[in-house]
Structures are given as C-alpha cells and as structure tokens.
C-alpha cells in the first residue's frame, strides 16, 4: 500500500499565495519606506541617489523573500504531512 506524503491542496495554495504576496508587497514597501524615511528624510539625499539606494534596498529585500520561499519549498517540514493508508 502506497503512502502519499503531500499537503492538502488548500494548504499548498495558502503557502504559495502568502509567499507571492510577500514577494510583491515587501520590496515595494521597503522601497518607499527607505526612500521617504531614510534617504530623503534622515540623510537628505537628492532625488536620483535616493531612488538608486532605495532600489538597492528593495532588491535586497526581494532576494531575502525569494530565498525564504525557496527554503520553505525545499526544506518543508515533512512531519506535518498526513499519511494515507489503504
């Protein structure tokens, strides 16, 4: 009898949807937050350097979010899965 070690489809969908929202929202939020509060407000940089540094922060945040998604997909906890026995 074969055992299937898969998460239910709804759990997989929720996980992927959550990571998609994080991958989309966090870089956009980090760009504007770092631009407004750090580079324009605190450091008082001009517009072009402020945009460049903020884009760098957004890229860094994007890579961290993608890394978290890949880590979660690769090293997902298999103890939470249910085993089907016939």
Q: What is the pTM of this model?
A: 0.75
| Distance from the Cα of residue 20 to its chain's centroid | 7
Is the backbone of residue 45 left (phi > 0), alpha (psi -120 to 50) or beta?
A: beta
**Mean per-residue pLDDT over the chain, rounded:** 85
Q: Which two tokens stand for residue 55?
A: 């884009």
Q: Which two tokens stand for residue 59?
A: 């890229």
pLDDT score of 2 more than 90: no
- Using pLDDT thresholds of 50, 70 and 90, give the confidence band for residue 46: very high
What stretches of the chain show up as alpha helix (H) in DSSP? 9-33, 47-74
Q: Which two tokens stand for residue 13?
A: 């969908």
pLDDT score of 1 more than 50: no
Over residues 56-78, the pLDDT tens digits come to 999 999 999 999 999 988 887 65
């Amino acid at each position: 009898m074969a055992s299937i070690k898969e998460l239910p489809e709804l759990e997989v969908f929720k996980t992927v949807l959550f990571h998609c929202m994080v991958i989309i929202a966090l870089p956009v939020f980090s760009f504007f937050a770092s631009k407004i509060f750090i580079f324009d407000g605190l450091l008082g940089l001009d517009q072009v350097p402020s945009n460049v540094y903020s884009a760098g922060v957004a890229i860094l945040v994007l890579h961290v979010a993608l890394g978290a998604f890949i880590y979660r997909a690769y090293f997902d906890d298999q103890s939470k899965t249910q085993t089907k026995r016939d």
